[in-house]
Structure 1
Amino acid sequence: MTATPSLAPLTLLEAPLAKGPSAMPMQRQLHHRFKEAILGGHLAPGSRLPGSRALAEALSISRNTVTAAYDLLAAEGYVQPDRQGTRVAALSSPAAPHGKRDTSPAPATARRLTPIQATTPPADSGAALRPGVPALSHFPLAAWRRAIDRAIRHAGPQALGYGDPPGEPALRASIARHLGIARGVRCEPAQVVITEGAQEALSLCVRLLTNAGDTAWIEDPGYRGAKAAMRAGDLRMMPMRVDADGLIAAASDWQTQPPRLIYTTPSHQYPAGAVLTVARRLALIAMAQRHGAWIIEDDYDSEFRHAGEPIGAMQGLVAQAPVLYVGTFSKTMFPSLRIGFLVLPATLVAQMKAPLDDMLRGGHRYEQLALAEFIESGQFSRHLGRMRRLYRDRQHALREALMRHMPAMHIIEGGYCGLHLTIRLPACYPDREIADAARGHGIAPAPLSSFALQPTPEDNGLVLGYGNTSAELFEPLVQRLAKLVRLAKD
């Protein structure tokens, strides 16, 4: 004889539903109430729900509202209608009742996450002296809005669909022309791949050119985003020290730990600011060719050189060099644009077409078309010129303030390029403690030690961004920071 399912207690469900203009619709409230009761273990599998008429009367709502809520619960599998009414379905993993703690272990995360340690809490993008933030208030928004409007008007609704996986042809052509003139990059539009910022470009390099367990050389101290991309690819990272001439790669390194991938920022090493000398560039290319390695050249802020002529890209030094050139518009335009690019060696274009078509979808089409027009119209070059002058003046003012007020035997690095300066401090001034204290005063320097895979006593200092901070503020800001440095001394 089959047991009759017990009736779900009406008291669990008969509390009045919220009413009023701001209240959730009755049907949704009722559905949510049943769902929570079932998942919370208050309604046992097999128990019958109240009849729709009885529940409607108890709640003073329409019977149709109750019926609609029951129908949705049935469609989602929470309940099962039968001849006797509607009963709670047997769920494979019901939640523990309220008041009882679920002690079951959480699923394991990827092992590659284990080495990732918290560096510093993310600072507000408007915080003073934060590295990597451009002067957003100086961006020509009116000109950009007109470019967007023209892109929408000319491209029409068809640009709402998927675009070419490697990016809009117009933007790829504009970038190729700009890089040839401004950076000495040798490339055709077919070699340019539009990405979701430089980070996706780095991830593509890892996914396209390496296998799990391959060795990757990375500058140390160096860019944290590159390390994240390599960890995601399960690469074996080898920290390569940098000096005043850039990345150091000894002959013994090629023998004992030959790389599959080499990451470098040759025009303005991040964060130390060194320029990789031509001799080291040529040697790195030659050895990479000999050992079958690929070089990622991250040229992230080379457009902002404040003294002398721009330093050409490594990619254009040697024909058919095994160099993948990575760039972004996050600093030259604005970070939320999320448009970067990857320039493939010509020898890889045909081979990578099918994988890229499968991995990419082609988005931000109006923004890409607007950016192409922004470059071709000369607006981009004029904006860069204005920003170079602004950043040159800001870097000079920050240097002066540091020399006047910063205590201790500090060394100013960072070169005459980009949007940041780095100061190295004696180890008795703990950089992480100073950075933590500074955030409480609205100042967001980055501790230099957080950029190193294998920190040494020399990797102690502060990375100070000047892109987003007005020059007249440097004097009081550096005075305040200098006081925090003195207070943090061991």
Structure 2
Amino acid sequence: MEFDWLLTPLAGDSLPRQRALHLRLREAVLSGRLPADTRLPASRRLAATLGIARNTVLFAYEQLVAEGCLVADCRGTRVARLPARAGREEREGMNARGGAATPDLSQRAVVATQHEPARDAEALPFSPGVPDFGAFPFHSWRACLERAWKDAGWRQLGYAAQGGDPALREALAAHLTSVRGLVVEAGQILITSGSQMALDLCARLLADHGDTVWAENPGYLAARVAFGLAGLRIHDVALDAEGLCATDQDWRQHPPRLILVTPSHQYPTGAVMSLARRLALIERAVRAGAWIVEDDYDSEFRRAGPAPPALFGLQSDAPVVYVGTFSKTLYPGLRLGYLVLPRGLAPDFIHAAAHATRAGQGVEQRALADFIQRGFYTSHLRRMRGLYSRRQALLRLALQEAFGPGAQLSGGEAGLHLVMTLPERIADGGVAERASRIGLGVRALSAYARPPVHCNGLVLGYGNLDEDNVAEAVRRLKAVVAGG
């Protein structure tokens, strides 16, 4: 098979060549232009054909192998076998029959007051989801704030512009394109007051009262609050090693309007959804007329290798809305998050959201745009990835020394926490309660689950864990577990 069709897109693409080649080949695989088992040219041959460096081809091949689009073995590099997707005509027919076509949002911008669940007053050792505040780049952030205040006008002091500060939307679009490979425009981004507001808007603008939403079980408790307050029926879907594992019975008896997933690092188990599972989920969602709400939780803190591809952007017409936040990467008190919306949905959704809520933090939004544009954000993420990787290694070693080499630890591919499984004779709820009395912020894994799913373990955050006191914190934890 000839690959001359890659020449024009590469020559006219504004992205770096290695990223452009990666995206063009991935699109060809997912669209079926490159069928399963197609053997790709050797890297030297393709580089010569396209007139580019061999390293550019090697980057694209390695990224696609890591994502599951390609398979590399002694026989060479070839296209992986992936679930077949419905044709465009079939999908359009489904949308005409009530599928996930762009909804009429004109009457859905209702006023409602939402309250978040209570948060811990302080960040205790092992508290999940808490970043290292001491490593925050205060000097760079303060300089960005000062510049933002110096240039602030009436627009920054009033309610934020519809969709968010234009400079922040532009900066975020460029960041997500270069770092996450989403290839989005500023007009597709809606800045929110954290991920909780983003979930609340999805619940109110993409579904009606009484509709069914699927939630991971065990899963993110705050999302259940947003869905419950919006009047949605929550159907819990069990997990396996690849994350959300919906059965035919789930699809048949509880057809969803919304599906919430955390595919890059499932919260709290840490499972990572495979590419085949992601594609299959999109196809079933299209057939069911459902919207997928993708919370890209903790993808920024991947331990090794590239992050798996986001559901958003895997297929250009997929019914996926992408949720992100700066709470874990910067600090929770910033209260800034965002939604990335499909092009056809974005204008109406953003217009409706402007009627449903009034966003602020205009100065902080402008400062964050400056922070991203100057490269401070990318540098901070790179530094924190190294810090958290080292911290997790220290915690793993301390846990294995305290509880034995057979201690079952999981969830360590990304993020800020590990899960340690407990024997059935030791109730995780009791351990968490006793731990809180001595100043440890561990969470019971069972608290995130709903019957009939049963799990017994501890969610151990290490983002704010003092490296010099890891052994002492684990010693105190062992004493608490032994008391059960």
TM-score by length of 2: 0.74
Shift of residue 146 of structure 1? 0.6
Amino acid at match of 2:208: N
Gaps of 5+ in 1: 1-109
1:398 and 2:390 equivalent?
no
8 Å CA contact 2:446–2:457 kept in 1: the answer is yes
How many pairs were matched up? 372
Shift of residue 126 of structure 1? 2.5
Amino acid at match of 2:231: D
- Determine the structure 1 residue equivalent to 2:152: 155
- Determine the structure 1 residue equivalent to 2:461: 465
Show CA shifts across 1:422-480 (max 9, x none): 111122111111011111221110100111122644x1111000000122211111121
Query: 1:221-370 to 2 correspondence within 5 Å?
Result: 221-370=218-367
Shift of residue 407 of structure 1? 6.2
- Determine the structure 2 residue equivalent to 1:475: 471
Rounded to whole Å, the distance in 2 between the matches of 1:326 and 1:122 is 21
8 Å CA contact 1:431–1:448 kept in 2: the answer is yes
Query: 1:29-428 to 2 correspondence within 5 Å?
Result: 123-406=120-403, 410-428=407-425
Amino acid at match of 2:472: P
- Greater displacement, 268-277 / 473-482: 473-482
Rounded to whole Å, the distance in 1 between the matches of 2:338 and 2:155 is 23
Correspondence for 2:447 among 439, 446, 450? 450
Show CA shifts across 1:185-211 (max 9, x none): 232111100101000000000000111
Identity of aligned residues (%): 46
Rounded to whole Å, the distance in 1 between the matches of 2:465 and 2:435 is 15
Rounded to whole Å, the distance in 2 between the matches of 1:223 and 1:180 is 27
- Determine the structure 2 residue equivalent to 1:52: none
- Determine the structure 2 residue equivalent to 1:13: none
Show CA shifts across 1:29-79 (max 9, x none): xxxxxxxxxxxxxxxxxxxxxxxxxxxxxxxxxxxxxxxxxxxxxxxxxxx
8 Å CA contact 1:193–1:343 kept in 2: the answer is yes
SS of residue in 1 equivalent to 2:215: strand
SS of residue in 2 equivalent to 1:331: coil
Seen in structure 2, the aligned counterparts of structure 1 residues 443 and 464 have a Cα distance that, compared at 3 Å, is same
Rounded to whole Å, the distance in 2 between the matches of 1:158 and 1:345 is 27
Rounded to whole Å, the distance in 1 between the matches of 2:350 and 2:246 is 32
8 Å CA contact 2:212–2:235 kept in 1: the answer is yes
Amino acid at match of 1:256: Q
SS of residue in 2 equivalent to 1:276: coil
- Greater displacement, 419-428 / 155-164: 155-164
TM-score by length of 1: 0.73
Amino acid at match of 2:420: I
- Determine the structure 1 residue equivalent to 2:11: none
Rounded to whole Å, the distance in 2 between the matches of 1:307 and 1:295 is 27
Q: Which has the larger radius of gyration?
A: 1
CA RMSD between the two structures: 2.0
Amino acid at match of 1:219: E
Show CA shifts across 1:326-364 (max 9, x none): 000001110100000011111212332431221232310
Seen in structure 2, the aligned counterparts of structure 1 residues 269 and 403 have a Cα distance that, compared at 3 Å, is same
Q: Of the two structures, which has the highest relative contact order with CA contacts closer than 8 Å and spacing of 6 or more?
A: 2
Gaps of 5+ in 2: 1-111
SS of residue in 1 equivalent to 2:480: helix
- Determine the structure 1 residue equivalent to 2:480: 484
SS of residue in 1 equivalent to 2:213: strand
Shift of residue 176 of structure 1? 1.0
